[in-house]
Chain A
Amino acid sequence: MSKYLKLFSTALVGTSLLAMTACATTGKDASGTATPSAATSTPQSSPNKKAKIRVMTITTDEARNNIMEKFIKPNIEAALPDVEVEFEPGGGGGDFVNKMKTYNASGDLPDVWYGDSTLAPPIMEAGNLLDLTPYVTKDHFIDKYSVPDALKAKDGKVYALSSGSDTYFTPVIYYHVDMFEKAGVQIPKTFDELVKAAQTLKSKGFVPISTPGKGGWSTTVFLFQNMVQIGDPQAMADLVTNKTDFNNPSIKAGLARVEQLAKSGALPEGVANLDYGPAKELFTSKKAAMYMMMTWELPDLAKDPTVDFFPFPAASDKYDSAKVAQFWGAPLNGYSVNAKSKNVEQAVKVAEFLAMADAKYFESTGAPVALKTGNPTGELQPLMKKFLDWYNAVPTKIASYSINAQDAKVAAEFATLGQNLLTGQYTSDQFVKDFDKTWKENTWFK
């Protein structure tokens, strides 16, 4: 019996080893013919073979999905016949960034991706972010931008191509005109009026103001910044340029306004865990009368004729909504290319095509773009016209704190504590106390 067992075991080991050998990368296909491995493949595509380009973009907001389905997928093959593009859904927000970090660490970055200023610096430091300057200069793509210098990073090089619509993104407060009328509420001119209007709307059974708070999103992206700058715009400008810190009384006052909004019931119950989609749905389904959100949602919201908007109302004489606004965008926002791509030139062409697709989409919605598409400008939607008339006339535009002042560690802590503020169980004083040390260790400005 033991003899048979040994024989059987030996056979089993042999079979296992054979199977493992077969599974290992031997460079042979099923017929035993040698095939080139990834390490030995030629980097450039042959004339008859399309270059494969992997692209990862944000897939969580409606604008991005519209661009993909209506402007990119139907046109890319005709525009770039020598390229085969594989699109990888990247998700959005932190998920997108984390995916990119993992790919960067494992040396598996896509050829092209939609990056931003928080993602770009470490990829650049790792030597994986391509300097696009020689490429976009040689093929004159840069000449299609109305302000080419806006694309240049601190070192004067271009690392990302965008439609240039980002600089037109700013937060506003959307509202349903009919709900305001029904509740007998006027457009608030001051922060106190906003809180009062919210209380009136709540007493009439409406959710006063919707905004996504999960993961501290709105606090990070615009709420904190606007609650500070409606009281003291200079303090906010100073914070974004590292000339002041969170102990500044005006910054503390801004945080206290976020706390006040949460505690006064102006925001929905459970706002600290309210996701982007449900927050928008609260407004579009007319459960919420107001919606604090960036203007990238304006083209979609403008489809409802009862929707209008107003800028954040003043909390002091230092602020005038006709004179100060936050602007989104940074030179590192846009389509970037992997410096180690096997098909760098084709990847740059893909990035240019994608930036142009973005521009065509935003232009089609009536939004302004800095990248000239060559298309005749259509008639603007009334709401978009109202927005542009206001925004273009604003002389002072303050860069966004969230993408222009924080390293990853600071951004993570700010988001965590920002979410805390929205619970109404956490004070602005506690925020400053908890955040101060992290802010002092901020490496963004170094």
Chain B
Amino acid sequence: MNRYFGNRLAVFVFAFPALLLFTAFVIYPLFPEMMISLQNHDGFKSEGFVGLANYMDVLNSQTFWQANKNTLLVVALSIFVGLPISLMLALLMDAQTPSIRRFFKAAAVFPAVLSVTVVAQMWIAFYEPTWGLFNEILRTVGLGHLAKQWLTDKDTALISVAVALFWQYIGLNALLFYTGIKSIPKTYYEAALIDGAGYVKASIKITIPLLQDVVKYVLIISTLGSMALYAHVRIMTMGGPGDASRTIVYQMYYTAFERSEFGKGTATAMLFIIECLIISFLINRFVAREKIEI
């Protein structure tokens, strides 16, 4: 009994400073935000309490749903395209000699440590319709008919921004997968080799199942990171053309700061928080539930 309470006390004591800071800087600010979302507020002053009217207006807004659709598309691309590529890169990295691996590790981290502004400007130049590298490559390889105004075409603007985002973080995710791969005992692969399994089969039957904790972690940070996509959009397209590349966080900014509707902007933020909580819950509930002992 004493030991039980002793452990509980120790857990509390160790967690207390972090909990205190988390409450002060994460939980507490939600309350004033929630209050603003119930007011007609222009960012300068409140015009009065309006109940749930801001929420109703936001939910009835076509732009809000367009921004949601855009955000979910980026999330889906991140999960179904970005993560498999990261995993493949990690597997490739693991199969290289130490010197090549060192190069890949540095190359993987490099984009992630760059400022978003630098990355976004670089991709703006890459997509530039007249002299940008992308269209130049297409023209050089005889695919000039595919050259486009990537960032101002409503059909390609969002995808183009998403590619810039993936490029920045795909290497970092690969590195996370790689650290997971390194924690898998070599004896498993040796046993598989004796049983006649090749590299691909060993990757599918051993590596991927034993990486489930890392997969879960990368899935959560990639999903929430993609959902919070803002800076790339702000710099590369300003959400345009029209609302074609507007994400939910950009929509929140646009409503609050550009339209000076802070009440509706914070209502959008509150809805976004709820969405994030639901998605985090779903990932926790359905991904990698059973612990595999190594």
Contacts and interface: CB of A to CB of B under 8 A. Distances in A.
Contact of B151 (A105, A207, A268, A270): A270
A412 B239 CA distance: 12
A73 to B, nearest CB: 26
Contact of A9 (B2, B10, B238): B10
Contacts, number: 110
B16 A13 contact: yes
A419 interface: yes
Contacts of A425: 153-154, 241
A132 to B, nearest CB: 20
B43 A105 contact: yes
Contacts of A412: 254, 258-260
B261 to A, nearest CB: 7
Interface in A402-446: 407-409, 412-413, 415-417, 419-420, 422-423, 425-426
A9 B151 contact: no
A245 B152 CA distance: 28
Contacts of B129: 269-270
B13 A12 contact: yes
A425 B155 CA distance: 10
Contacts of A269: 129-130, 149
Interface string B34-78: 000000001111000000000000000000000000000000000
Given A9-B10, A269-B129, A94 B258 contact: yes
Contacts of A94: 257-258
A66 interface: no
Q: Say which size band chain A's interface belongs to.
A: 35 or more
B242 A417 contact: yes
B238 A214 contact: yes
Contacts of B207: none
A270 B152 CA distance: 6
A426 B128 CA distance: 21
Contacts of B7: 2
B154 A215 contact: no
B173 interface: no
A122 interface: yes
B260 A2 contact: no
Contacts of A5: 6, 10
Contacts of B213: none
A13 B154 CA distance: 56
Contact of B152 (A12, A16, A122, A272): A272
Contacts of B240: 215-216, 272-273, 416, 419-420
Contact of B2 (A2, A98, A409): A2
Contact of A123 (B3, B44, B130, B259): B44
A6 B10 CA distance: 7
A419 B2 CA distance: 69
Contact of B260 (A9, A207, A273, A408): A408
A104 interface: yes
B242 A273 contact: no
B13 A101 contact: no
Contacts of B259: 408-409, 412-413
A125 interface: yes
Contact of B14 (A2, A9, A271, A417): A9
Nearest to B131: A287
A159 to B, nearest CB: 16
A70 B242 CA distance: 40
Interface in B244-285: 254, 257-262
B6 A126 contact: no
- With most chain A CB atoms within 10 A of its CB, the pick from B3, B43, B236 is B43
A423 B43 contact: no
Interface centre among B10, B124, B238, B243 (most CB of A within 10 A): B238
Contacts of A6: 6, 9-10
A273 B151 contact: yes
A16 B242 contact: no
A157 to B, nearest CB: 19
Interface SS, B side: loop
Most A Cβ at <10 Å: residue of B9, B149, B154: B149
Contacts of A268: 130
B44 A423 contact: no
B237 interface: yes
B17 interface: yes
A247 interface: no
A416 B16 CA distance: 47
B247 to A, nearest CB: 15
Q: Which of B17, B45, B149, B240 has the most CB of A within 10 A?
A: B240
Nearest to A16: B17
B161 to A, nearest CB: 11
Question: Which one of B130, B149, B242 has the greatest number of beta carbons of chain A within 10 Å?
Answer: B242
Interface string A71-104: 0000000000000000000000010001001101
Given A409-B259, A420-B242, A9 B13 contact: yes
A269 B3 CA distance: 72
Nearest to A10: B13
Nearest to A268: B130
B9 A273 contact: no
A420 B241 contact: yes
Contact of A409 (B152, B241, B261): B261
Interface string B7-21: 101100110110000
Nearest to B254: A412
Contacts of A216: 240
A412 B261 CA distance: 11
A6 B6 CA distance: 7
Interface string A119-142: 000110110000000000000000
24 contacts: A6-B6, A6-B9, A9-B13, A9-B14, A12-B13, A101-B44, A101-B257, A105-B43, A105-B262, A122-B42, A125-B45, A126-B45, A207-B130, A270-B130, A272-B152, A272-B241, A273-B236, A273-B237, A273-B240, A408-B260, A413-B259, A423-B149, A423-B152, A425-B153
Interface of A: 2, 5-6, 9-10, 12-13, 16, 94, 98, 101-102, 104-105, 122-123, 125-126, 207, 214-216, 268-273, 407-409, 412-413, 415-417, 419-420, 422-423, 425-426
| Closest 6 A/B residue pairs (Cβ) | A9-B13, A408-B260, A412-B258, A269-B129, A2-B6, A272-B152
Interface of B: 2-3, 6-7, 9-10, 13-14, 16-17, 42-45, 124, 128-130, 149, 151-154, 236-243, 254, 257-262
